[in-house]
């Protein structure tokens, strides 16, 4: 608690008020004009007070308006924050028979940001769902009209099946993502053999690799173990290998390797998936982990991608207290590496 009462009026505020200011999570200030008479730590943290004065012109004006009108006023303001501003909710209440005003200020910048991200996400999801649903509607109509033409009927039915598969995959990945993003408890961590995770991930992908003309080489020692949730780790490897297959030319190799790294910060297991495919330009390397971000939406769609695969992988490694790194060069290839805790760390 910081008291800014001048020496000439040491007992201007009772100790109870100090305690109330201390208990408040919002920034609390008693001001007279732009001069601060009393403030709590939250007001300092929000950088509202500097050398016993209010730093924000808008806040001073709000205090002045409330005093002049003799009324409580609540308003959203933008306070100075470095080179930018920060959104806050401020309430000003005049103290009767004085020139003083009580200010309560709450930081709403983070909730604003979360709200914006959520709005964006809903808009993206709706857009992504609209594409297959629209296609299915058109195909269903076309099928109805092609009743007497078996060849066309078969073609449209096949496409309807593809769109339904895309839709069901999108819904499944959205559910996976929302489960991983919070709400659900952290995974049950146990010791899992890396070879088991890798073979479980590869089993359903063998046919796809073969039909794309891609050979998968695995180099993982049998003893290597990782601390984690088996199901989630299988999903992470699956998504990385699916991408390696999808973004590589026929005739190329995809490599999966793993080893234990012992460093002063602890022991980590590094599992990497490498391809010699199209690669990713430096400007896209950060962004591909965002939900729905694709370098080439057309290509992603053609391979049945949803744009959610890497966002899911990122959440899985974070939930494990690990991280993901990427090396990539356009035209040369990419290596995604999962850094995960090793047992006994």
Distance CA 341, CA 335 (A): 19
Among 272, 305, 322, 340, binds ligand ADP (CB under 6 A): 305
Instruction: Build a one-symbol-per-residue string for 323-342: x at contacts with ligand ADP by CB under 6 A, - elsewhere.
Output: -----------x--------
| CA–CA gap between residue 241 and residue 325 (Å, rounded) | 15
**Contacts to ligand ADP from residues 229-268, by CB under 6 A:** 239, 243-244, 247
Q: What length does the chain have?
A: 345
Region from 8-16, 67-75, 105-113, 275-283 binding ligand ADP, contact rule CB under 6 A: 275-283
Interacting stretch for ligand ADP, rule CB under 6 A, among 2-10, 105-113, 202-210, 304-312? 304-312
Contacts of 160 (CB under 8 A, 6+ apart): 136, 139, 140, 143
| Options 48, 102, 280, 324; binder of ligand ADP; rule CB under 6 A | 280
Residue-wise over 114-147: b if at least 16 C-beta within 10 A, else e? eeeeeeeeeeebeebeeebeebbeebeebbeebe
Using CB under 6 A, pick the residue from 86, 309, 315, 319 that binds ligand ADP: 309
Phi, psi of 221 (to 5 degrees): -80, 145
Q: Judged by CB under 6 A, how many residues of this single chain contact ligand ADP?
A: 23
Structure tokens at 34: 């732009």
Asked whether position 214 contacts ligand ADP by CB under 6 A, the answer is: no
CB of 99 to ligand ADP, least distance (A): 59
Separation between Cα atoms, residue 102 and residue 124, nearest integer Å: 43
- Beta-carbon count within 10 A of 62 CB: 22
Single out the residue of 67, 166, 294, 315 in contact with ligand ADP (rule: CB under 6 A). 294
Q: Which is nearer to ligand ADP, 229 or 275 (CB)?
A: 275
Residues of the shown chain interacting with ligand ADP in the complex, contacts defined by CB under 6 A:
239, 243-244, 247, 275, 277-280, 288, 293-296, 300, 305-311, 334
């Amino acid at each position: 608690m910081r008291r800014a009462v001048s020496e000439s009026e040491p007992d201007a505020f009772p100790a109870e008020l100090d305690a109330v200011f201390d208990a408040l999570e919002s920034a609390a200030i008693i001001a007279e004009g732009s001069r601060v008479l009393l403030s709590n730590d939250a007001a300092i943290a929000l950088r509202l007070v500097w050398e016993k004065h209010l730093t924000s012109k808008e806040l001073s004006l709000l205090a002045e308006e409330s005093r002049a009108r003799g009324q409580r006023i609540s308003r959203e303001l933008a306070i100075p924050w470095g080179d930018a501003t920060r959104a806050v909710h401020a309430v000003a209440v005049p103290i009767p028979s004085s020139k003083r005003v009580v200010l309560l200020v709450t930081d709403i910048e983070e909730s604003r940001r979360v709200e914006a991200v959520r709005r964006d996400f809903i808009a993206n999801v709706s857009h992504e769902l609209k594409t297959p649903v629209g296609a299915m509607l058109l195909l269903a109509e076309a099928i109805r009209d092609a009743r007497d033409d078996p060849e066309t009927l078969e073609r449209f039915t096949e496409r309807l099946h593809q769109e339904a598969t895309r839709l069901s995959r999108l819904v499944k990945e959205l559910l996976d993502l929302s489960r991983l993003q919070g709400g659900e408890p952290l995974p049950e961590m146990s010791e899992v053999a890396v070879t088991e995770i890798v073979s479980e991930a590869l089993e359903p992908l063998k046919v796809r690799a073969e039909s794309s003309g891609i050979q998968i080489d695995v180099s993982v020692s049998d003893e290597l173990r990782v601390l984690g949730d088996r199901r989630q780790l299988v999903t992470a490897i699956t998504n990385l290998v699916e991408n390696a297959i999808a973004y590589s030319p026929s005739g190329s190799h995809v490599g999966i390797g793993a080893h234990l790294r012992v460093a002063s910060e602890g022991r980590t297991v590094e599992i990497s998936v490498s391809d010699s495919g199209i690669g990713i330009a430096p400007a896209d390397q950060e962004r591909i982990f965002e939900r729905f971000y694709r370098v080439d939406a057309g290509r992603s769609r053609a391979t049945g991608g949803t744009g959610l695969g890497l966002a899911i992988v990122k959440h899985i490694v974070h939930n494990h207290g690990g991280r993901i790194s990427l090396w990539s060069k356009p035209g040369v290839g990419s290596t995604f590496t999962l850094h995960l805790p090793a047992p006994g760390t």
